[in-house]
Structure 1
Amino acid sequence: MSRTAHFAATAAVLATASTLLTVAPASAATTCNSPVFKRQFFANTTFSGTPKKTDCDSAIDQSWTGAPVSGLPSNNFGVRWSVTRDFGSGGPFALAASGLDGIRVYVDGVRKIDLWKNTSTTVSKSVNLTIPSGKHTLRVDYVNWTGSAKVKFAYTPRTSATVDKVKPLVPTGTSVAYDSATGKAKLSWAKNKEMDLAGYKVYRRLKGTAFGGSPLATTTATSYTDIPPATGATYYYEVRAYDKAGNVSTGTADQPVGTPDRTAPDAPTGLYAKVGPGAVTLAWDTNGVTDTYRVYRATAPQGPFTRIADGLDSAWYRDTGADLTGRLYYRVTAVDPVGNESAPSVVADTGEPDTTPPAQVTDVTVEGTTAGNAVRWQTSSDDRHVNHYEVWAAPEGASDPDGPETVFGLSFNDQRAAAGVPLTYRVQAVDDYGNLAPVSAPVTATRPAPGAVAVPTGVEGTPLDSATELTWVSVPDATGYRVYRRTDRNAAWTRLGDRPTTALRYSDSEAPGVSAYYYVAALDAEGRESAPSESVQVWRETPATPTAPVAPTITLSAPYKECTTNDCAPHGGTGVPLTVTLKHDRLLSGYTYRFYGPSNSGYLTTDGSTITWTPSGPGLYTFEVRAIDYYGRSGPFTSVRFMVG
């Protein structure tokens, strides 16, 4: 075979291995680009001394008669080929060598084929081996002692799925470029180094979802162009390499593409309008995907509507410029981040304006304490539209110097009242439209000056299941103490207990299940209260109750059944889980329970309402449980029996 024919055949073989070798021109250059071999000719069979010639060779498939190059003898010469290349993920390979005379093949300096003898016939050998990932060096040594010279070598990946279990490496250099004008996303990556590479699989997913099992596309190129839906959503792409044995690499890092949003969001829903003093409050349901809202107002249901607010990032608005003397109509639109505006919401209106004031507030009382004057009143008889109350305070014969206090409850503590100065209080109800009720009948009180004892200190409050326990430090010369409570910072203080206490503690057995504030006042020899102590806040998850929790109800999961007087048949069995469901009408901290019978779990605790247990053997078992109040008080035990098959 001619050298040209040899080259053509070898190039075809290597092309099937996904790498087409190119011939470097023979020259004195000693550097050859991988995967081209560097070839060296030696005038001896020991590869010693300076090569007579060095060039590049794309394929090892030659035969010579006589000297292969100038300066070499026709016999007793050597030729060495070497190449270092990146094998990617590596894997199973076949090395095939033949020659006349001697040939040796090395991988990273380790001999893999040894046909080293003078022969008159061609010798050959094939070796299957696994080449690790990364770069490795192949070296082929050939010697001709006498006669004709022939040498041939090839290395090829073994691509049978039963042999090759090594997946390709993850493609590198992944990037994506998106053209918003054309809507095209071009994904690019670097070519893999594996010789058995078959191609690439491209995947796409919507943000927040997983990649599907099937690829968007497969390709043998190192780029792919896609047109993702232009919905304003973000899509992610990844590339996976696959080889001829069907092994697939791990995916590349996700490459995001944000598409333009040309779709308007949904119209807001649930819009309502509520009239309040001096303003209309609007609220609607957030759609969860828009950034801002616009509010429009009109004096007729068909419009025209005028925009009164823009760029709202919350689903409510207070229209302080509304004319409450007429009926008003509102609608709201949603605006997405790129400016797409939704269709308007359903129109909401304020209804016909109300010009009728609430009824006069009655039963106003006031009591002077050293913490301030406590003003209380009853709900207005026409409280359906009452928005708040205004409390006026003034010295007798004068007017309130700084205007009324706005109160949303039914009491007020005037802590700014000066001691020893009589003050007269009046209360007015104010409805949603700002209509004022007639002023209540006046009541008068004087804040007393503190008594001649010190202020109690060290007040602490501890929530217990039966009460909130308050303690404080003894005050010299005090004849007793009074305790006050309120649940709002501005409300009137309520004195607890009918009589003063001489103890340094007090149990508030009617403590509500909310945040409450307490203060303590000491009494002097004349029964006068000291100034109030520093208030202490106590938060309760449950109201105080006088009794421990009752036993919970117990439900056993199928197939288990509670034993009765007439039926205690076995159900379930060893290894079959049982779930016990507990029910109680209180907020608890948990339960204490145990299973006992052929085996005993011992007492355990749980803060949940379900308990899963697996019997270790058959027999009659008892489940025993009791409820534990939120602050640790335990109720009575109850139990059920059941038979395990």
Structure 2
Amino acid sequence: MNPARRTTAAAAATVVLATAGTLLSTAPASAAVSCASPVFKRQFFANTSFSGTPKRTDCDTAIDQNWGTNAPASGLPKDNFGVRWTLTRDFGSGGPFTFTASTQDGIRVYLDGSRKVDLWKNVSTTAKKTVDLTVPAGRHTLRIDHVNWTGAANVEFTYTPRTSATADKVKPLTPTGAKATYDTTTGKAKLTWSKSPEMDLASYRVYRRLKGASFGSTPLATTTSTTYTDSTLPVTGAGYYYEVRAVDRAGNESAGTADQAVTTVDRVAPGVPTITTATGEVTPTGGTGGLRVGWNKVTDAATYRVYRAASENGTYTRIATTDQLSHLDASAAESTTYYYRVSALDAAGNESARSAPQRGRIWDNDPPPVVTGLSVTPTEYGFRLAWDKSPAQDLRYYTIHKGELVGDEDEQVCYGSLVEYVSPDETSFSYTTHPDGDEVCFFVDAVDDDGNSAMKWSDDLVPAVAATELDTTPSVPTPEGSPLNLTASPAEGDEGNQLSWTGLGAGEESPEPAKGFRIYRWNPATSAYEKIADLGAGAFEYFDTGAKRGTTSYYWVTGVLADGTESVPAGDWTVTAPVD
């Protein structure tokens, strides 16, 4: 409580005193006193009718006084005095309140001039009264009159909102003065609003929504302050809206403030494009228009940057910026391989990572010249082919084709199939076959780096050469009925032709194993099979290192029986190319 205190004549017209942790001001009756809400203005009268000029006026933070049998202030009597408190304040949304009064002797409580509490008689003990009522929203005036006729004097009055959920169904007023600002440097939004006049205010709830969406049921934040900084905004360049709602202690939530808009700074790059094509483009006249690079559409991308390098892991240089989904690289040279990467940029200038490298090339559609100068020479191993070196600078390889002549004597065509690829540095080839006198034909094709074939794309006919094989067949035929089976394979490296056989216990058990094996090779000079090796029992393999290279070798193998005779021979042949 704030008891009145005597002041000296030398005191100023207004004196500020600190009493019991409160602040009050006292002044002579002639001085004007103004008390800021919700502090009461208190007036002391030397009568019980509150008539005339108050003897003293001051400010009181609470009505809770006990003067006993003493005068309430200097210059007032100890009996038959009156004290009046007045207050005009904003009750916000109003709602259910409880007025509680206790006094000795009398007290009357008025709300906007309407009496709500009336305890008005001379009593010897303290009288009390509690009243539940509803206060309308807005500003209202309270007036509390207290009188003491005789004896002890005390007075107490409180007014408090009822905050139970069953009693209070009144929503708080919507907060006012809401503002939102956005700091593009920090990416944070700051909201401020005015303090609510609600006497039973519990907190404020802040809600946020993305532009085009609705506010959810869960608040972004709950605070008792009148300011909030949102540090969780995505920096995507999107628009957001905020609203603030007041919540009372009964859990009633006000309507939201007007939406407060902010637009965030965009620091998020778009997705990474994927290159879908990198191919040469042909003009309507058939010429090379350049190399067209295309990619997929990326959400939020405003433009795309195209980068090019000479190798996959080389240095990529930007060659174009476009809002299209492809770019024609008109500076790309024919028959040159390039590597491309593409990035996406949004309207804020954020650039995505670059796409994976994609190789591109303008293919050369011009075939090499037809191969000329082909000659085919029959040999003991098959044929030796030779031709003129191709003048093509972009030659990748030659292809050798062998076939047979079809047609009459006036017009014959060589129908052949590919038998070998030859390096572009070579102009000859040894073709191995079993030379037994057949007539065959050959032709050679040239293929460039872009796969253009002289044979397929040239208007000129590819010249073919026919040749007849030498007949190296031995004049002594191999008899039938041998118990052995011989396989001859051409030499690899320096190990010689490989002979392997089965039968008569060669490398395996047999009911009649041979005591040994003999190897024979055909000698065309003597027209006879000549023995070149004697092998022991169980042998099944022999390498003929003495065989001539670049010829066809014919072999027999016999088994040496227990009586010293030989079995019927088994025969086979193999061809080795000459050593270049």
TM-score, normalised on structure 1?
A: 0.47
Change (3 A) 1:351 1:317: closer
Structure 2 residue 341 is the aligned partner of structure 1 residue 336: no
Q: Which one of 298, 301, 307 corresponds to residue 287 of structure 1?
A: 298
CA 167–324 in structure 1, closer or farther in 2 if over 3 Å, else same: farther
Could you report, residue by residue, the CA deviation over 1:568-600 in whole angstroms, capped at 9, with x for unpaired residues?
xxxxxxxxxxxxxxxxxxxxxxxxxxxxxxxxx
CA contact 2:188–2:229 (8 Å) conserved in 1: yes
Q: CA deviation at 1:60?
A: 1.0
Partner of 1:267: 272
Match of 2:50 among 47, 71, 86: 47
Deviations 1:125-147 (A, max 9, x none): 22111112222111112222333
Cα RMSD (Å) of the superposition?
A: 3.5
- Residue type of the partner of 1:92? P
Instruction: Name the counterpart of 1:524.
Output: none
2:148 pairs, out of 144, 147, 155, with: 144
Residue 67 of structure 1 and its aligned partner are, at CA, apart by 3.1
Task: Find the partner of 2:252 among 247, 255, 263.
Answer: 247
Mark the runs of 5 or more structure 2 residues left unpaired by the alignment.
5-19, 284-288, 367-580
- Equivalence map 1:170-569=2 (5 Å): 170-176=174-180, 185-228=189-232, 231-232=235-236, 234=238, 236-256=241-261, 261-269=266-274, 271-273=276-278, 275=281, 277=283, 278=289, 282-298=293-309, 304-310=315-321, 312-319=322-329, 329-347=339-357, 351-353=361-363, 355=365
Counterparts in 2 of 1:22 and 1:85: CA distance versus 1, 3 Å: farther
Task: Say which SS state the counterpart of residue 55 (structure 1) adopts.
Answer: strand
Match of 1:165 in 2: 169
**Is 1:90 paired with 2:101?**
no
Identical counterparts, % of pairs: 59
One-letter identity of the residue aligned with 1:60 = I
Whether the 8 Å CA contact 1:329–1:347 is kept in 2: the answer is yes
> Any conservation in 2 of the 1:43–1:72 contact (CA below 8 Å)?
yes
Alignment size in residue pairs: 341
Q: CA offset at residue 173 of structure 1?
A: 3.1
Q: Secondary structure at the match of 2:159?
A: strand
* CA positional deviation for 1:262: 4.6
Offset at residue 56 of structure 1 (A): 0.5
Shift of residue 164 of structure 1? Answer: 0.6
Q: Partners of 2:325 and 2:52 in 1: how far apart?
A: 88
Whole-angstrom CA distance in 2 between matches of 1:313 and 1:255: 34
Amino acid at match of 1:240: R
**Contact (CA 8 Å) 1:24, 1:36: kept in 2 or not?**
no
Q: Partner letter of residue 25 of structure 2?
A: P
Aligned: 1:130 with 2:115 = no
> How far apart are the structure 1 equivalents of 2:250 and 2:311?
74
Say which SS state the counterpart of residue 23 (structure 2) adopts.
coil
Structure 2 counterpart SS, 1:153: strand
Alpha-carbon shift at residue 102 of structure 1 (Å): 2.5
Residues 40 and 60, structure 2, Cα contact 8 Å, conserved in 1: yes
Q: Deviations over 1:435-479 (max 9, x none)?
A: xxxxxxxxxxxxxxxxxxxxxxxxxxxxxxxxxxxxxxxxxxxxx
CA separation of 1:330/1:270 partners in 2, compared to 1, >3 Å: closer, same or farther? closer
How big is the shift at 1:237? 4.3
Q: Deviations over 1:89-110 (max 9, x none)?
A: 2211111122222221111222
CA contact (8 A) 1:201 1:241 kept: yes
1:384-434 Cα deviation digits (max 9, x unpaired) = xxxxxxxxxxxxxxxxxxxxxxxxxxxxxxxxxxxxxxxxxxxxxxxxxxx
Report the CA distance between 1:261 and its aligned residue.
4.8
Distance in 1 (alpha carbons) for counterparts of 2:79 and 2:222: 53
1:325: how far off? 7.2
Query: Which residue identity does 2:270 align to in structure 1?
Result: P
Question: Displacement of 1:83 after TM fit?
Answer: 0.7
Larger radius of gyration: 2
Aligned-pair CA distance for 1:199: 1.9
Distance 2:113 2:296 in 1: 74
Give the match's secondary structure for 1:25.
strand
Distance in 1 between the 2:334 and 2:218 partners? 62
Instruction: Look up the equivalent residue of 2:169 and give its one-letter code.
Output: K
